[in-house]
Amino acid sequence: MRIAHVVGYASICAALHLAGCGSLEPSAPAVTPAVAVAARVDIGELEHGRLIYTTRCVECHAAERIPRYSRAEWMEILPRMADEARLNDAQDRAVRAYVMAFVTR
């Protein structure tokens, strides 16, 4: 492998801020049936939310670790960021449900 390839690959990883460049954990934890039951939200809604979180919410910055902010902080952040990402109502609801399923405080 040529050096240019190595440097290119490393900078893509750095740009995406992906742990090990192969996984979005823990910034975007996977949805499981147990999480859906605990959150009392349809698992399809949570999967949709995770998709938005990992595609639309990373257009300007890396995906934030959800537990870094409290529920109250997310309630203030999400409407602003939904505007930034130009989400429609269904996408807004889904990403909100996803984030709220993983807040810890």
46: buried, middle or exposed (CB in 10 Å: 19+, 13-18, 0-12)?
Answer: buried
- Judged by CB under 6 A, does residue 57 bind ligand HEC? yes
Query: CB count, 10 Å around CB of 18?
Result: 19
DSSP one-letter code for 18? -
Q: How far is CA 3 from the centre of its chain?
A: 32
Of 9-17, 27-35, 39-47, 77-85, the window that binds ligand HEC (rule: CB under 6 A) is 77-85
Nearer to ligand HEC, 1 or 60 (CB): 60
Q: Of these, 60, 88, 89, 104, which contacts ligand HEC (CB under 6 A)?
A: 60
Residue 71 interacts with ligand HEC (CB under 6 A): yes or no: no
Q: Least Å distance between CB 7 and ligand HEC?
A: 27
Angle between helices 89-102 and 71-84 (to 10 degrees): 150
Q: Which region holds residue 86: left if phi is over 0, alpha if psi is between -120 and 50, else beta?
A: left
Taking CB under 6 A as the criterion, the residue among 31, 64, 101, 102 binding ligand HEC is 64
Q: Which residues bind ligand HEC (CB under 6 A)?
A: 56-57, 59-61, 64, 69, 77, 81-82, 84-85, 95
